[in-house]
Structure 1
Amino acid sequence: MMEMVPQAAPMLRIYRYRAAVDAAIARVLDGGTAIGGAEVAAFEAAFAAFCGVGHAIGCGNGTDALVLALRAAGIGPGDEVITVALTAHGTAQAIRLVGAVPIFVEVDSATRTMDPAAAAAAITPRTAALVPVHLYGQMADMPALTALAAQQGLFLLEDCAQAHGAEMAGRRAGGWGHAAAFSFYPTKNLGAVGDGGAVVTQDAALAKRVRSQTNYGWSDARRISDVVAGNSRLDTVQAAILAALLPHLDEAIAERRAIAAALHLGIGGAVTLPRWDDGAVWHQFVIAHPARDLLAASLSRDGIGTAVHYTPPLHWQPAFYRDAQPPLPITERLAAEVLSLPIQPEVAGPATQAIIDAVRRGAAECAR
């Protein structure tokens, strides 16, 4: 039986750096601090420096990171938050969880990220924030969105869950908005062995409010709850693991870019390819095809695993229905056509040519 090339296998990355990960875990076990402590502080400092900002606050997961940033900015009931429907559920769930209303706007057909013109057209007196999503490792048009947020006085929160290390105009993802939210879910380019997330920002006052929100509303060692808040802390073991993996992230990004370049060249015009972007980090390599499900079945027969990110789009899902939501034809078409190929270096590196051959065969079958 043919061995399947999985679409992703995050534990293979952990095994690749197993010695460093084992040492990090042992250091936590030997240090006697299970919550917080020097390991978390060290990772936060290193990750803030990596993103080019002054502050990083670890938290429980990427959805919590979005919630914490929105709450720290005072976003809540009565507010509208402009975002996109071609994204993971957490983006819109976070907006709902703070009591605000997600307003879904169209994406650019080439970048698959928020269309700045569509965002501008959706602004109303109730609009309080923009949440662009850096999808599949490609950044949204941050120069345009930053200018729009400044012009309209809106809080700008980058959803960077898939964009660790992505760059645009010399600045990394997380360094454009008032704040940014990251996920360290195991499949991410920088992934933990479990859940984890972070909020990053240049704003010291905002960082202080976010940190208070992660820990019962405490602002200092008195352990006094100054505000109503929950508990969303980055686990010490996960922080140590992430700190061990962070020095290898630039290497992994370079490997993903090389694989993406090979896929671009080899697949050619057989399917619709993602737009090439020198600053992308290729969290996913997402092609599009009108017979997506047939193509996926063909690839599976050839031993190539795939995934769909994302369908149905969020504006079609019950939790986010809104009577006034206009149709989003580009989003809806992409949701029906996108297909994620293997791109993780430990998986796709040795199988790049097999992936190319299978896609070309599958596309030819679909054309018959």
Structure 2
Amino acid sequence: MIYLDYQATTPLAPEAREAMMPWLAGPETAGFANPHSPHRYGRAAAAAVEVARARVAALLPPGGRVVFTSGATEALNLAIIGSGRKRLAVSAIEHAAVLDTARFVDPDVTVLPVSGEGLVDADGAIPEGTGLVAVMQVNNEIGTVQPVETIAAQARAMGALFLCDAVQGAGKLAAPEGADLIALSSHKLYGPKGIGALWVRDGVKLAPLIHGGGQEGGLRSGTLSPALCAGFGAAAALCTSLGTSDAEHVEKLWTLARSLFEDWTLNGSETERWHGNLNVRLPGLNVGRLLSECRNVAFSAGSACASGSGRPSHVLRALGLSDRDSKTAIRLGFGRYTGEEDLVQAAAAIHAAAKVQGVL
């Protein structure tokens, strides 16, 4: 199987798995300890959690704290609901974790439009009185990189908080400067599933969503998993140490992928994008049939969270594409563990299946 769905999840780094193993041990070691216990075993587990917290924090701006969560969805909910802000503005291409939560808080939420290239207008008007603005760093479907620093400054000037979903960009791009709240997900940067984080700028006040023992500085009750924290921390540390080589590898893959799919139409900006994401469309393509026939290639028709819904992508529709054209797009995601031959073989399989349909 050739895996090209890095936006849905990334492979677990061997180093992250190794870091987790001591904290998954049985009763013969102290690895099973509760990190909130005061005894020696508990303190050792707590120390591992704090090492992981520091490693994740190294991916983020100074002047804030990292709060571990069960994933980015919880982090985004904590940021939006916990902020207490009732008037919200979010981009039209946000992940459902932002859009749905924003609509829950503010049924009249302002939706900031994007251009045909999938970019939010950095000079666009944010309504007066807006309390929180949310714009993602890198779109999960089309890979466009948003002008978040400029929008963050605009939000701050009007007294609004700025929330950035950095799930797809963390560990790959520089941290979004100017944000007040930043959400991350471990399994999108080669760490384990089941853990994420919310970075909270110093001075920003949030109310907890989950009440109980007051762990995580009173913002998130519940027993932390030292194993998940350690894996997340190790993955974050790898992103720091391998950042240059990872970026160079992705650039080579991007250049190859563009040449292999040169007859397809690119969705989203050619220049303002993360090059580990290739979203392309072909007129008349039956994507469902294509996915079924390319059984040895793992790729997608869009967000994994919306797959199987039958609905056109809200991201592609926001770009101005028709429902028909939106349903002819595929997304290929690649990264650290993708080989050039993987792309060549995958492209051959996809093109062969498209030719059978008579659309290539």
Global fold match (TM > 0.5)? yes
The Cα shift of 1:315 comes to 6.6
Q: Which residue of 2 aligns with 1:341?
A: 332
Select which of 235, 254, 258 maps to 1:260.
254
The Cα shift of 1:42 comes to 1.8
The whole-number CA distance in structure 2 between the counterparts of 1:19 and 1:329 is 42
Q: Which residue of 2 aligns with 1:30?
A: 30
Q: Which residue of 2 aligns with 1:216?
A: 211
Q: Which residue of 1 aligns with 2:182?
A: 180
In the TM superposition, what are the counterparts of 1:13-162 in structure 2 within 5 Å?
13-15=12-14, 18-23=17-22, 25-26=24-25, 30-35=30-35, 37-54=46-63, 55-76=65-86, 79-84=87-92, 86-98=93-105, 101-110=108-117, 112-116=118-122, 120-121=124-125, 123-133=126-136, 134-136=138-140, 138-162=144-168
The whole-number CA distance in structure 2 between the counterparts of 1:163 and 1:127 is 26
TM-score, reference length from structure 1:
0.73
Verify: 1:204 aligned to 2:211, yes or no: no
Q: Which residue of 2 aligns with 1:300?
A: 293
Q: Structure 1 residues 39 and 279, CA, compared in 2 at 3 Å: closer, same or farther?
A: farther
The whole-number CA distance in structure 2 between the counterparts of 1:357 and 1:105 is 39
User: Which ranges of structure 2 fall in alignment gaps of 5 or more residues?
Assistant: 37-45
- Range that drifts further, 133-142 or 40-49: 133-142
Partner secondary structure for residue 346 of structure 1: coil
Which digits, 9 at most, give the CA deviation of each residue in 1:19-68, with x for residues without a partner? 44435645996245334522222222221122233322111211111122
TM-score, reference length from structure 2:
0.74
One-letter code of the match for 2:163?
A: L
Q: Structure 1 residues 352 and 337, CA, compared in 2 at 3 Å: closer, same or farther?
A: same
The whole-number CA distance in structure 1 between the counterparts of 2:119 and 2:144 is 8
Q: Which residue of 2 aligns with 1:239?
A: 229
Q: Which residue of 1 aligns with 2:264?
A: 270
CA contact (8 A) 1:39 1:236 kept: yes
CA contact (8 A) 1:272 1:288 kept: yes
CA contact (8 A) 1:285 1:340 kept: yes
Verify: 1:286 aligned to 2:279, yes or no: yes
* RMSD, aligned CA: 3.9
The whole-number CA distance in structure 2 between the counterparts of 1:231 and 1:219 is 5
The whole-number CA distance in structure 1 between the counterparts of 2:260 and 2:314 is 35
The Cα shift of 1:233 comes to 6.6
The whole-number CA distance in structure 1 between the counterparts of 2:108 and 2:251 is 36
The whole-number CA distance in structure 2 between the counterparts of 1:351 and 1:80 is 43
The whole-number CA distance in structure 2 between the counterparts of 1:332 and 1:67 is 31
CA contact (8 A) 2:75 2:198 kept: yes
